[in-house]
Structure 1
Amino acid sequence: MASSSVPSSQPARPPRPNLAFRRLRGSRSPAEFAAAVRRAAREIGERVSCDARYVHRVEAGEIRCPNYAYERVFLHMFPGRTLTDLGFAPRSSVRGRRTGAAGGRPENPADATSETSGACEPYETHDRYDTYDEYDPHDHEESDVLRRAFMTGGATVAAAALGPYGFAPEASAAQRPVRRAGSTDACALEEAVRRIRVLDDRHGADGLYRRAAAPLRAAYQLLDAGAVRQRTADRLYAGAGELAISVGWLAHDSGRFDDARSHYAEALATARVTGDPALEAHAFCNTAFLARDAGRPREAVRAAQAAQRAARPLGSPRLMSLLALREAGGWAGLADRAGCEQALVRAQAYFDRGPAEADPEWMTFYGEAELEGLEAQCWSTLGDWPRAARHARRAAELQNPHFTRNLALYTAELADDLARGGRPDEAAQAGMRALDLLSDVQSSRVRSMLSGTSRVLLPHRRTSGVSEFLDRHASLPRMV
């Protein structure tokens, strides 16, 4: 029962669009601007995980004032300007004020909802009050429990290179009975999805999969509890589906194909129940990728085609490009060169249309590097090693260093293509670079590729550099 001291009927003030911030973005898409924010953060040693959704929220006026980490990044990007110049409210006007508090008087800091009225800031923050959750009198008590279950740990998890996952020890808290879920719970769920994706990008799946099961269980418990409002229910279903896909991908990338198939099927069922075409397209996209890797190329083609049917009305050429690549991978597995080439042409044509407002948040990894990398895999499957190596090399050169796992993947792909194409010395050099990246990446997929490369290179041990690569690969510690 909500405390009687908390008003429950006072209407929230509608947000005012931040036009100044929108002007600063200029002609860049939200995803492109978010990438620029992340680059600026790295320049000053900050760690923020800005994405297109965050940019949308700022421009819509939902984030009245950024947390301190984002403030430092924005002021670095736009020197000489203040937060108010960027369209934000002064921190003093929002710090420690709780939505709906009578007279706007500061509340107890332990109860503060932080400075951003109307939105959650994504991922890690550096101030315990800098993650805002919209206040809802129905979900105040349980949101603290669920936030701990989903979100404790923050930046220290990445810093510890996949040490004990922050929210796993609190998973039991998520099993407690809850009243109907509210917007804070939806925010916690959405942030859990983002955090898992960021950690996977940086470190790979092997150290994450089992720990990610805890927030997934909590997500489905939220669905069972029901929601206060329909909009919140929609967010919960979408978030649970995306979380199932993220956990499925961790299983997929760590070689647990049966587990991955189950998680993707759960996400697809959620999408069908709620009539969510974006979630359906994403679930079919990952199902197609899994089917290709599991040696079921015809299923990969069918799933990719189903994904394209679901995605067509969404208005995202980049999504259609990725799905065409998924189809191309299936055709390659069927040794259908013509079908593969046709799908690759479509993928390139869609990609060339550029980013769009409708691009899904989860597609931040998909750029020119991923396009090149997936095409390399197609040519490799078809046995065209020189062509595969050209695309793999370009993928590695183009890859943003933030996506460490993908950089390791493309480099391992290059090493394998070079080895099978009769260039053992170059293959060994690429293999050594991939091994360097394994100090930060735990991916069974990458390790499996390097194992295959080492077998191909064994007859060439006397070639320059090959012996060193083979010895170093043999010394890799076993994955547990």
Structure 2
Amino acid sequence: MYRRAFLAAATAAGASLAAPAAAQQRRLGFADVDRMNAKLAAVVSMDDRYGGTPDLEKHAAALAQEALRLQQGNAASTRVRSELYAVAAALTTSAMWAAIDGRRMDTAQAHMHQAVTLAGLAKNPAIQYRVWGHASSLYRQLGRHTDALAAAELARESPIARRDPLYASLALARLAVHYADTGDARSALRTLGKAEESYTRIDPAGQRPPWMRFYDRAELDSLALFTNLRLGRWADAEHRGHQCLARLRPDLHRNRALTHANLALAQIGQGEVEPAVASARAVPAEMASHGRVGKLLGDFTRRLNTLAPKSEPAREWAAHRKALAA
């Protein structure tokens, strides 16, 4: 269902999944930048809604190449070239994030290397912030927690994070997760508190790129949920999970699935077998095997089978998983 919906959304947004046509030689202007940014906004919208599908990854990477091809053999001002490098970097970062979300780590790393180069060419602090933020998530998925911390620190120290409390809050909330991964509870909770405080100082009318619109109170709750889960603070994690679900935009299917899976882990951590299984079963069938969601549900299954393997909820969950795999 989600693949069909993604394809329909891509068509509706005018973002064909076919390879972009080669551009004729001409002088580039800000109309070209605006056109590519509109395609970037459509990619971001589809990722917010459906998550990191292989189709989305390939589409974002193809659009990044389209932005780069525009510059080959065409005249442009320095500012226009910088803007096109920025949108190419942003699209490559979207491809990287889609690969991370789908746990396709080899391609995620290839996208990351290109995104770092393009962000440097763009000389755009916001794009550099995004690249390092996603790089920290990639390193986390790879279990390279020292590298994840270093990348998250680069995002936190970027000029855009110093100027805008919204960027600062996101960088700090991600950093809290990485501290929790290393077992540094004191730093994790202190940093999470700073993220909360920064969020109270944001200007909601501030002008920001489309890829920052995902960060709201629900996302802050989600990152707090991750932090508390990693610290084994099960009750606090469950509380933040419920807050996230209450605030989450209804169109964010992937994020809702992630939150239900994390909520199930928080509940099983407290020995609440029946509510935990109910939360896990709230993940739509179409999302249950998706990248990060599938990994979380696998972790949940192992914990459930360790805690209460012969319970009725465990048998119900096993039957549910078998039906999903059929």
Question: Is residue 316 from structure 1 mapped to residue 193 from structure 2 by the alignment?
Answer: no
Cα distance, 1:365 vs structure 2: 0.9
Question: Is residue 421 from structure 1 mapped to residue 270 from structure 2 by the alignment?
Answer: yes
Cα distance, 1:363 vs structure 2: 1.4
Cα distance, 1:266 vs structure 2: 2.2
CA offset digits 1:421-462 (Å, max 9, x no partner): 31110111101111x3x4378731111111221222235355
Question: Is residue 361 from structure 1 mapped to residue 210 from structure 2 by the alignment?
Answer: yes
2:102 pairs, out of 248, 254, 277, with 254
SS state at 2:311 partner: coil
Counterparts of 1:298-309 in structure 2, within 5 Å, are: 298-309=146-157
TM-score normalized by the length of structure 2 = 0.88
Question: Is residue 181 from structure 1 mapped to residue 25 from structure 2 by the alignment?
Answer: no
| 2:168–2:198 contact (8 Å) kept in structure 1 | yes
Alignment correspondent of 2:49: 202
Counterparts of 1:265-414 in structure 2, within 5 Å, are: 265-312=113-160, 315-356=163-204, 357-414=206-263
* Distance verdict in 2 for CA 1:467–1:178, change over 3 Å: farther
2:4 pairs, out of 160, 180, 199, with 160
Worse-superposed segment, 206-215 or 459-468: 459-468
Please identify the structure whose Cα radius of gyration is greater.
1
* Distance verdict in 2 for CA 1:393–1:181, change over 3 Å: same
Cα distance, 1:187 vs structure 2: 2.4
SS state at 1:192 partner: helix
| 1:202–1:402 contact (8 Å) kept in structure 2 | yes
* Distance verdict in 2 for CA 1:254–1:301, change over 3 Å: same
Cα distance, 1:303 vs structure 2: 1.1
* Distance verdict in 2 for CA 1:158–1:439, change over 3 Å: closer
Alignment correspondent of 1:474: 322
* C-alpha distance in structure 2 between counterparts of 1:465 and 1:178, whole Å: 64
Residue type of the alignment partner of 2:218: A
* C-alpha distance in structure 1 between counterparts of 2:247 and 2:99, whole Å: 27
Aligned length: 319
* C-alpha distance in structure 2 between counterparts of 1:245 and 1:467, whole Å: 41
SS state at 1:365 partner: coil
CA offset digits 1:317-354 (Å, max 9, x no partner): 01101101121122111111111122111111101113
| 2:100–2:108 contact (8 Å) kept in structure 1 | yes
* C-alpha distance in structure 2 between counterparts of 1:246 and 1:386, whole Å: 33
Q: Structure 2 stretches of 5 or more lacking a match?
A: none
Cα distance, 1:258 vs structure 2: 2.8
| 1:254–1:444 contact (8 Å) kept in structure 2 | yes
* C-alpha distance in structure 1 between counterparts of 2:78 and 2:315, whole Å: 62
Cα distance, 1:370 vs structure 2: 0.8
Cα distance, 1:249 vs structure 2: 0.5
Alignment correspondent of 2:304: 457
* C-alpha distance in structure 2 between counterparts of 1:378 and 1:440, whole Å: 23
* C-alpha distance in structure 1 between counterparts of 2:203 and 2:20, whole Å: 41
2:61 pairs, out of 198, 201, 213, with 213
Instruction: Write 1 or 2 for the structure with the bigger share of helix.
Output: 2
* C-alpha distance in structure 1 between counterparts of 2:68 and 2:248, whole Å: 35
| 1:202–1:440 contact (8 Å) kept in structure 2 | no
Residue type of the alignment partner of 1:195: A
Residue type of the alignment partner of 2:72: D
| 2:44–2:210 contact (8 Å) kept in structure 1 | no
* Distance verdict in 2 for CA 1:355–1:477, change over 3 Å: farther
* C-alpha distance in structure 2 between counterparts of 1:226 and 1:421, whole Å: 61
Over aligned residues, Cα RMSD in angstroms? 2.6
Cα distance, 1:273 vs structure 2: 2.4
| 2:2–2:286 contact (8 Å) kept in structure 1 | no
* Distance verdict in 2 for CA 1:158–1:177, change over 3 Å: farther
Alignment correspondent of 2:86: 238
* C-alpha distance in structure 2 between counterparts of 1:342 and 1:284, whole Å: 22
* C-alpha distance in structure 2 between counterparts of 1:475 and 1:364, whole Å: 36
Residue type of the alignment partner of 2:35: A
CA offset digits 1:234-258 (Å, max 9, x no partner): 3212111111111110011011123
Worse-superposed segment, 401-410 or 351-360: 351-360
| 1:241–1:279 contact (8 Å) kept in structure 2 | yes
| 2:129–2:160 contact (8 Å) kept in structure 1 | no
Which one has more relative contact order, counting CA pairs under 8 Å at least 6 apart?
Answer: 2
Identity, in percent, stands at: 27
